[in-house]
Amino acid sequence: MPHRAPGAPDGAGRPDYLTGKPITYYRPRGSSELRTLIDEGFQAFNAARLSEACRIFSDKMLAPENDTTIGLTIAGALTPAGLGGCIVELMERGLVDFVISTGANLYHDLHYALNFTLRRGSPFVNDVDLYEHGIIRIYDVLFPSKVLLETDAYIRDFLERIGVDEPIATSELHYRMGQDLLDQQPGCEEYSVLAAAARYGVPIYTSSPGDSSIGMNVASHALLNGSRLMIDPNRDVNEVCAIVLAGRQNGCVILGGGSPKNFYLQAQPTLWEVYSIPKGGNDYFIQFTTDQVVWGGLSGATPAEAVSWGKVNPGGLPDTVVCYCDSTIVFPLFSEYAVGSKWGRRSRKELVHKRDDLVAALKREAEAARDMPHQAEGDPETMPDLERHR
């Protein structure tokens, strides 16, 4: 048997799971020391990609003359990890114009808004033991299962309180939820993405509306209370298309990948492929991910591949960057850099209040395009013909 150092402890002893520090919404402060490190010390490999992403965002996407409409997409458990503070800061400063998030990130944001405590922990714990003790684990974030039940109770109360009885967009549901939080928990825009988004007029969309505890409770409201409140995905699709169509320039910051990435990126193909509207692809594209292109999925697909779909402007590839790193490390660094940059505050677009007008404009353009001969098929001389198997 391998020798053991004399007196080495044996690792036994039952851990007390909920003793780690509470996780809080850290707010980036624009550290100049960090800026120096990113500019001078991050010179190659993914460090250089992060450095490029910081400069593309701060020097180009935020430049007033470009007036870029900026979408932020969020996948992966970022609010449980305390990254909501970066998102709040970017929204408050006008650096992000709309958000597409998984439902889970918004659901877990509610724990913060409602002042429930999530704690730092370890991923190396016994899940059967956690289960016995009613503790929920998100990788290394731990909290009592009561947090889920109380958060669900809030959602159900909210759904009854607002009295909506028809299909609505997720942007509308989230806006109303944010306003409700501002009412119920004054000041919570400091520690809630949903509340801050409502305060600062940032629409938040969810591409998979049934796919979180928020969606589960909406479904329960329909089943048990006979409510006709439901999410209307059509409205979501058309609102995002309308926002992108209205952008002078367009750019995105993609955290992770997943269906929020796809939901954002499909706006341009919807315009040319479905609505026959000749709007080009994204001018700027920043992604932080740990997925890889070689697995073939959309999460890991490159900006180059997106060019072939019209999602990214072919001439814009120099302004695209993918940095392969866990968002929990790079998103705070990126946010610090942006906050401390020359254009670290923009006037907010407050798109949540302009959604109806933008969709109306989209409808007008699409109707006009429908009445025109179809332009979207390219040059018949060079386009490959359609082949059929049989």
Nearest approach, Cβ of residue 198 and a copy of itself (Å): 20
Return the residues of window 94-133 that contact a copy of itself according to CB under 8 A. Answer: 102, 104, 112, 115-117, 120, 123-124, 127-128, 130-133
| Among 58, 68, 171, 238, interactor with a copy of itself by CB under 8 A | 238
19 near a copy of itself (CB under 8 A): no
Nearest approach, Cβ of residue 372 and a copy of itself (Å): 13
Q: Rounded to an integer, what distance in angstroms lies between the CA atom of residue 39 and that of residue 148? A: 42
344 near a copy of itself (CB under 8 A): no
Quote the radius of gyration of the chain (alpha carbons, Å): 23
Nearest approach, Cβ of residue 196 and a copy of itself (Å): 16
Residue 236, number of CB atoms within 10 A of its CB = 22
Nearest 10 degrees: CA dihedral of 237, 238, 243, 249?
80
Q: Rounded to an integer, what distance in angstroms lies between the CA atom of residue 118 and that of residue 352? A: 30
Q: Rounded to an integer, what distance in angstroms lies between the CA atom of residue 199 and that of residue 350? A: 9
DSSP string, 288-302: EES--GGG-SSTT--
Return the residues of window 264-293 that contact a copy of itself according to CB under 8 A. Answer: 266, 268-275, 277-281, 283, 290-293
SS3 256: coil
Return the residues of window 202-221 that contact a copy of itself according to CB under 8 A. Answer: 207-213, 215-221
Closest to a copy of itself by CB, 74 or 253: 74
Nearest approach, Cβ of residue 178 and a copy of itself (Å): 18
Nearest approach, Cβ of residue 352 and a copy of itself (Å): 18
Nearest approach, Cβ of residue 337 and a copy of itself (Å): 12
Q: Rounded to an integer, what distance in angstroms lies between the CA atom of residue 299 and that of residue 50? A: 18
Beta strands 204-205 and 98-101 are parallel
Catalogue the active-site residues. Answer: 311
325 near a copy of itself (CB under 8 A): yes
Q: Rounded to an integer, what distance in angstroms lies between the CA atom of residue 49 and that of residue 43? A: 8
319 near a copy of itself (CB under 8 A): no
Listed in sequence order, the residues at least 6 apart from 10 whose beta carbon sits closer than 8 Å to its beta carbon are none
Return the residues of window 346-365 that contact a copy of itself according to CB under 8 A. Answer: 359, 362-363
135 near a copy of itself (CB under 8 A): yes
Closest to a copy of itself by CB, 144 or 344: 144
Closest to a copy of itself by CB, 58 or 262: 262
Binding track over 49-78 against a copy of itself, x by CB under 8 A: -x------------------------xxx-
Count of chain residues binding a copy of itself (CB under 8 A):
175
Q: Rounded to an integer, what distance in angstroms lies between the CA atom of residue 153 and that of residue 140? A: 25
160 near a copy of itself (CB under 8 A): no
| Among 165, 183, 326, 350, interactor with a copy of itself by CB under 8 A | 326
336 near a copy of itself (CB under 8 A): yes
- Is the separation of the CB atoms in 196 and 179 below 8 Å? no
- Please state the φ and ψ torsions of residue 64, each to the nearest 5 degrees: -55, -35
Residue 168 CA: distances (Å) to CA of 214, 228, 272, 327, 375 = 14, 10, 26, 31, 33
Residue 217 CA: distances (Å) to CA of 251, 358, 387 = 33, 30, 46
42 near a copy of itself (CB under 8 A): yes
Q: Which helix (H) or strand (E) holds 68?
A: strand 68-74
315 near a copy of itself (CB under 8 A): yes
Q: Which residue has the tokens 């684990």?
A: 137
Closest to a copy of itself by CB, 228 or 345: 228
Nearest approach, Cβ of residue 46 and a copy of itself (Å): 4
